Every structure is written in C-alpha cells, then in structure tokens.
Structure 1
Amino acid sequence: MEYNTGKGQDLYVEAKKVIPGGTQLLSKRPEMFLPDGWPSYYSKASGCEVWDLDDRHYYDVSYMGIGANVNGYANPEIDKATKEAIDSGGMCTLNAPEEVYVAEKMLSLHPWAGGVRYAKAGGEVVSMAVRIARAYTGKDIVLFCGYHGWHDWYLAANISNTNALNDHHIAGLAPAGVPKGLGGTNLPFHYNRIEEFYALVEKNRGNIAAVVMEPIRNDYPKDGFLEKIRKTTEKEGIVLVFDEISAGFRLCAGGSHKVLGVNPDMATFAKGMTNGYPLSVVIGRKEIMDAAQDTFISSTFYTERIGLAATLKNIEVYERDRVWEHQIAVGRRVKAGWADSGTKHGLPIEIGGIDPLAHFGFDVEEPLAYKTYVTQEMLKRGYLASTAFYSSAAHTDEIVNEYLENIDAVFEQIADIRASGVDIKEKLDGPVCHSGFGRLL
C-alpha cells in the first residue's frame, strides 16, 4: 500500500532541495516520524487539532509544537494579546514595556532570582547562561547532564569523545564546525549517578565555571541527587544552571525545581513559557546576572514585543487555569492506558517520562520498526501520533478517551502480527523512521 501523501510530502521534496536537512528543527523532520508518509506541513492548527495542506484533519497526540503549546494551538486569549502587540508596533527604537513586566513576573515566580535576560530560542539562552556563568567565575569548564541544544559549548563534548552525547537525548551529533580547541571544556555526567559527578568535580577542581543540567526529564531524582549537586556547587563556588526548557511549566507555573525543592543559581526557560511564540529567558541570582554587563550580549530581535506579550498572557492563563494539574492528570491517564493495553495484548513495552512528557518504547529487536508502524496506523485513524504524548490544556477527556481506544486497536494489530510470525517491517507502507541526527541525502 502506498501513502496518500498529497501536497505536504510534495512540498517536503522541494524543501530538501533548498533547505539543508529539509527543516529547521531535527524533531520536525518527517523522517523522524513516517518517512515518505508524514503530512510534513500544516495549514491550520487550533487546540490540539491540525489540518494539513490537503485540509485533512488530525488530532495531535504527539509533541504539541515540540512541547511549546501547553495552552493549545491558537489559544484565543494569548493570540489576542499578541495581535494587540502587533497593532501597537512589534518593533520600535524605544523598548517594549513588556520586557519589564515579564521580568518581574518571572522573578515573582522564582524569588531566589534577581535578574533576567532574554533571547529567542532555548538552546540560544542556555548558551547565554553558560557565557554569563563563565564571565562571573572567570573559569572555563562546564559539567553537564542532559540535552542542551546545538551551540558550540555543548557539541564540543564530542570532540574529545565522539560518543559523549549519544545517551544525552540525541545520538549522532557530530561536532563538525566546532573549534577543536573547545575539546575538554565541557564534560558529561549521567542523571542520578552522583559518583560520576563527584569524580568530575575532583578531577577538575578549581577550573569549573558551571554545572548545566535538566533538573528532571525522564526520571525523578533519587537519593538526594539534586541536593547533593547543590551542596557541592555551593561548596566549590560553581554556578548551578537548571535547564528548564523542557520541564518548565509542566509540573507547576515556573520551573520544575520549585516542585523538586532545589533552587539553582540560574535557570533557563522557553517552550511552555510562551505557548509557541519566540522568546526564551535566563534568570539568576543578581550578582551572577550582573556579569552579563561584563560580556557583550546584544541582539535587535531580543527586544521585539510580540513574544513578550504572548509570554505574559500565557503565564497568566496558565496560572489562572492551573494548567499543570490538567497536564499531569492527562499524562497519567495516557501512561496508564498504554500500560493496560500493553498488558492486555502481551506487548513488551516500557513506559517512562514525567507525566506531562510521557513516552513508551517497545522492548524488541527492532523497536524503530514498531514505532513506525504505530505512527503509520494512527495516521490512518486521524492522529498525529508517535511513541510520545506531550499533554496540553487542549487535550479533553473525550479526545484522550478516543485516542486510547485507537492506540489499543493498533496494539492489538501489533499483537496479531507478532503472533503470525510476520516481520512487522513487511506491514510498513514505507521505510522505517530515523532515530537521532543523521545527514539527509
């Protein structure tokens, strides 16, 4: 059977001729979902509903704008605020007052902090945090845990060890174009492995500027992991940076560290903070953030008004409606549904992630083939689906119930295929999906 690809895949073929890699974001590459079959482009999105270029309708039960749209696509209140900002002038020689209002709001949510700077994207603002931490301490080495973007300071880990980043969310990130002199300036450790962290501190004592880490992503901290890192960084004079790009505005209004009970020295935010508009923020203790004045950080579009206005309204709606409670409850229901269906149909699945950022995988020899089959069959049923579910305010009980009924039916199909002894790849209408970063030909 061939895919009913339509205009989206046709346009993607053209895109790869003029855009290296096809898209601006690895996580949006059609090859990561359903090569030759993913709709690729949208004409309209609202709530958790999406229409492709052929006006085919889907429910997004996957990544919801790669985690950005916690209040749903085209949220009327948030979009109204952005339209008012546009009508008032999105850019001007003078500064937008929303710069101050958003800063004050972020500091009210995080009373430990005393300063704020802006950028436009998540990886960019983490890079800014690293620069500020190095300026403040006068030291070079950064210890890190987790995924933190595409910038030189991060990819440099793969100069000394080509596999250093492979198990930090995305594999295959070659450091092509990163100056070789940056090798050894950033060193990885793994989540919940405190002895790894202690060993790096001991080996590099006196030369460490910062520890950059996601406070939580897939697993909760164990045995006082965050507290031990906090105690060590305080003792050693190391700046502790929590990357809240993914986890922020999932477990509460603000950073997940508020729920986990450990305050960093700096924290970065984007995604769920803005509901899909371009703005990122780094906050930090006043004396550290003041070091931003000692190093040159300046950009015209860090001052545009639209992202600031959207962020201000998004936080207001998020707090008022206590959206995190809905995100957690929905994510918990979906994880329970996966588990029930997996058990019922005898499938070897593993479920992980914090409740609002849930995911599952197949414990089989070729898991990507199974993942591709799920996406293929759910697409036929009108769902943008994969093996992850990022919950949002737009995921109603009715939508979730219908999703779980459909995923259960697909799990039953997989069980039947396994029972028949047929290779699941024979049931795919196209190639197996990609995993990690790879050059597209």
Structure 2
Amino acid sequence: MNTEDTAETEEFSLPRSRQANERLHAMIPGGAHTYAKGDDQYPENLAPVISHGRGAHVWDIDGNRYIEYGSGLRSVSLGHAHPRVIEAVRRELDRGSNFVRPSIVEVEAAERFLATVPTAEMVKFTKNGSDATTAAVRLARAVTGRARVAVCGDHPFFSVDDWFIGTTPMSAGIPAATNELTVSFPYGDLAATEELLTRYQGEVACLILEPATHTEPPPGYLAGLRELADRHGCVLIFDEMITGFRWSEAGAQGLYGVVPDLSTFGKALGNGFAVSALAGRRDLMERGGLRHSGERVFLLSTTHGAETHSLAAAMAVQTTYVEEGITARLHALGERLAAGVREAAAGMGVGDHIVVRGRASNLVFATLDGNGQPSQHYRTLFLRRLLAGGVLAPSFVVSSALSDADIDRTVEVVAQACAVYRKALDAADPAPWLAGRPVKPVFRRLA
C-alpha cells in the first residue's frame, strides 16, 4: 500500500465529532433520529456531526467544510437556509405557530398545493412521510373493505409503521399476522402484478409504489398499473416523497401523465421543514372528513400537522420551484455531475466499479468489487476519500444551491478517490484502505 495514501487519510480525523457521537449513542438509540443518518452508515470514526449549513455547504463541529449531497435525506433541495423560505418562516413565527382552530395559512397552503399538483382534488398536511403513506393505506382499506396491501418490493422504504416495516429485516416486535397482510410485486412487471392480484382476488386494498426511482418506468407501465387497479377494484397509491418536485413541480404523476387515486408528498416540499401531504381523489379523501354519510375514517389528525411556519415554508418552496425553474436546474446540475464522475471513474480505470445511476435530479452511486458485485467495503473506501476531500456524499443527490465550481471540485475529489479505488482493486483487497469496519446497510436484523 502506498504510504502517501495512508498518511493523507490518517491526517483527516474528527475528534470532536467522535466525542459527540458517543454522547449521541448514550442518550439516543442508534445515535440519530433517523437510521439512515447513523454513524454506521459512515466509515469508522469519520461520521461528522454537523454544526450548521448554508446553501450547498455544511460545517461539522471539527471545523471542516463540506460540499453536501443528499441534503436532509433529499429534503433540502433548494440548499440550507434558503432566503425565500427562511423569510416566509420567520414572518409566520412572529404570528404564532399553532392554534385551537385552523389558521388561514392552512387554506392558502392547500390552495397552493392543489394548484401545483392539479391531478389531486383534496390534500391534508402532516409532519412526516410515514404518517401520510399509512393514512393512504388505511383509507384504501376502508373504502375497499379489503385487508391486504401490495407494496412494490423493489423500493426500499414506505413507512415506519408495521404494515411496511414487517417486510424488512428489522421486523422485530411486529406480529406475524400483520406481516401476512402485506404482499409485494416487482417494479416494471405488469404480468407478475396481475398474477398477484388474481391470486388474492378481491383481497388487495391497494397497490403502493414509487412511480420512479433509479430507473425510469418502462413505456406503458404506470398506465398499465392504473388499468390493473381499476379492473381489480384496488386503490393506486403513488409515493411521491422523492419524485415530488424533483421529477416535476407536480411530481412523477405530472411528468408521466398517469393519475393515481392517492399520492403522498414530502421531503422537498418543505426544504427541510417538517411537512408532508396526502392528496388524491375527492370521493376518497372526503371519507376522512365530515361531509359524507358513510363510516368515518380516522385519516390524519396531528397536533402539529398544520404548524404555520412549516406550511409557509412549503408555499415558499412551491413558489420558488415554479418561478425559478428549480426542477430544470436540478436536472442540469445532476447531468453535469454525472458526466464528470463517469469521466473521472473511466479515466482511473474504475468506470465499471463506481457506477452513477438514477434520474439526474436524484443520482445515487454503486460501489462494485472486482467481480462487479455491490460492496460495502469499497463503499467505505470511497466515502473515506470523499470525506477527506471535503465532499459529504452518501449519494449524489443535488440541491439547486450547488455551483459549477462545487461540481468541478466534487469531480476532482472523486478522481482522487478513484485512483485509490483502482489500487484496492489491483490488490484485490480493500481492507488496508478502510481503517476500520465497513459501513453497514440500514435494514439488517442484528445491530
């Protein structure tokens, strides 16, 4: 192993972050409030604890500045402390944030959302994506009188609630009877989905999926799902937590022209502020309201669901996206980044091992070993080199605050990381470059 490689990596350390991580674990299970932010997702002793952020940059408590990707687990798409959003939030904070009756801000926020996502007829706001998706599933079960839920098995996450988490390796504490009510279908395969619906004829309440992820939907696929749901009498739910705004202002449904019965939005909706939405057909959504004669559905009822400052943030985000063409900018930045990373990887002879995937506005990367298989060891090596170069990138998901200079610097750091990656491949052993345990998958049975 090249001693210069060793020295450069060993010089980069995070002593204050390491101490803060110990404090986090002493009081917070997992050391973070979201498993995907856990220090097990980063190289050992190199999990920065953040002090603050502005635009596309964040600073850790050790004083290091990073170019950040995947900000707030994809939620901060305009960059940190975006002036337009902060101004809207600050204005509402001076007026009170939560009242015993709805505020006029709730009317304005609903009107703005439904104007931005015209495929929906009603909307209800909440604080997180899990509440929204679970409300959609509950509503689908109520209106169909069916118990089974069909989830797209190729998509990684829908909710923290039992109906979904029971399908993951972290299913401890969830009754087997609950798990049996959730079945899965493969993305892009209409025949397999129809076979599933036929096998459980009259039992499936809904099909829930992300309309697109790191792959585009095959031609006719979403329209085919729409037809299958109609024919089998089940509710079609699009989880637009990620695709919402990043694919188009109106989400993937606005881009691909297929209208679901229900859809859920979050993440980019608040630019880091806690706001999510369940939207959909009036006749379904109204079952959670008061203006119908049927059995009531406990749809969403959250104390903080309509905090005025979060709704103000959402309105500012939507206005910014529409007026400033943010979705187009995200795609342009992502295309520039993807091209640069691919060129850097190819130039260092690792183009088949560091693979950039996904829509330009939502890029991820795969780290493959010498046999072309996904490798947590090589991911660890890659992340270590990125961190040492001032790039915090669990993914390559861009924010509109990135500059061309940020992209160029990122590509430089990626090229340096690729040079080390090539050496590890040639040695057929990445271990000497890890300096500790490899990063771990989020969903695993044992800690």
- Scaled by the length of structure 1, the TM-score of the pair is 0.92
| CA displacement at 1:275 relative to structure 2 | 0.4
> 1:156-200 CA deviation, whole Å, 9 max, x = no partner?
3x3xxxxxx4xxxxxx3x222223321321111111122221111
Equivalence for 1:341: 344
Equivalence for 2:140: 133
Equivalence for 1:169: none
Evaluate the alpha carbon distance shift between residue 310 and residue 397 of structure 1 in structure 2; reply closer, same or farther with a 3 A threshold: same
Equivalence for 2:393: 385
Structure 1 segment 172-183 matched on structure 2, within 5 A: 172=169, 174-183=170-179
Structure 1 segment 83-98 matched on structure 2, within 5 A: 83-98=90-105
Structure 1 segment 253-292 matched on structure 2, within 5 A: 253-292=249-288
Equivalence for 1:411: 418
| CA displacement at 1:437 relative to structure 2 | 2.3
The CA distance in 1 between the partners of 2:133 and 2:237, in whole Å, is 9
- Corresponding residue SS for 1:389: coil
| CA displacement at 1:3 relative to structure 2 | 5.4
* Matched letter for residue 7 of structure 1: R
Is contact 2:21-2:31 (8 Å) kept?
yes
Pair 1:148 & 2:158 matched: yes
* Matched letter for residue 333 of structure 2: V
Query: What is the root-mean-square deviation of aligned Cα atoms in Å?
Result: 1.7
Pair 1:303 & 2:306 matched: yes
Is contact 1:155-1:175 (8 Å) kept?
yes
Is contact 1:334-1:404 (8 Å) kept?
yes
| CA displacement at 1:354 relative to structure 2 | 1.4
Equivalence for 1:362: 367
Q: Which moved more, 1:356-365 or 1:256-265?
A: 356-365
Instruction: Give structure 1 stretches of 5+ with no counterpart.
Output: 159-164, 166-171
Specify which of 315, 328, 333 is matched with residue 330 of structure 1: 333
Instruction: Give structure 2 stretches of 5+ with no counterpart.
Output: 1-9, 290-295
- Scaled by the length of structure 2, the TM-score of the pair is 0.91
The CA distance in 1 between the partners of 2:178 and 2:30, in whole Å, is 25
| CA displacement at 1:213 relative to structure 2 | 0.6
- Corresponding residue SS for 1:435: coil
Structure 1 segment 11-410 matched on structure 2, within 5 A: 11-39=20-48, 41-60=49-68, 62-145=69-152, 146=155, 147-156=157-166, 158=167, 165=168, 172=169, 174-293=170-289, 294-296=296-298, 297-347=300-350, 348-349=352-353, 350-364=355-369, 367-386=375-394, 388-410=395-417
- Corresponding residue SS for 1:111: coil
* Matched letter for residue 249 of structure 1: F
The CA distance in 2 between the partners of 1:153 and 1:96, in whole Å, is 33
The CA distance in 2 between the partners of 1:112 and 1:81, in whole Å, is 26
* Pairs aligned (count): 423
The CA distance in 2 between the partners of 1:233 and 1:257, in whole Å, is 16
Is contact 2:117-2:249 (8 Å) kept?
no
- Corresponding residue SS for 2:31: coil
> 1:41-74 CA deviation, whole Å, 9 max, x = no partner?
21110001111112221111x3111100111001
| CA displacement at 1:90 relative to structure 2 | 0.9
Is contact 1:278-1:307 (8 Å) kept?
yes
Pair 1:424 & 2:430 matched: yes
- Corresponding residue SS for 1:113: coil
- Corresponding residue SS for 2:51: strand
Q: Percent identity?
A: 27
* Matched letter for residue 289 of structure 1: M
Equivalence for 1:168: none
Is contact 2:190-2:221 (8 Å) kept?
yes
The CA distance in 2 between the partners of 1:425 and 1:247, in whole Å, is 36
> 1:11-52 CA deviation, whole Å, 9 max, x = no partner?
11121122111111111112112222111x211100011111
* Matched letter for residue 389 of structure 1: F
The CA distance in 2 between the partners of 1:113 and 1:91, in whole Å, is 26
* Matched letter for residue 305 of structure 1: T
Is contact 2:243-2:252 (8 Å) kept?
yes
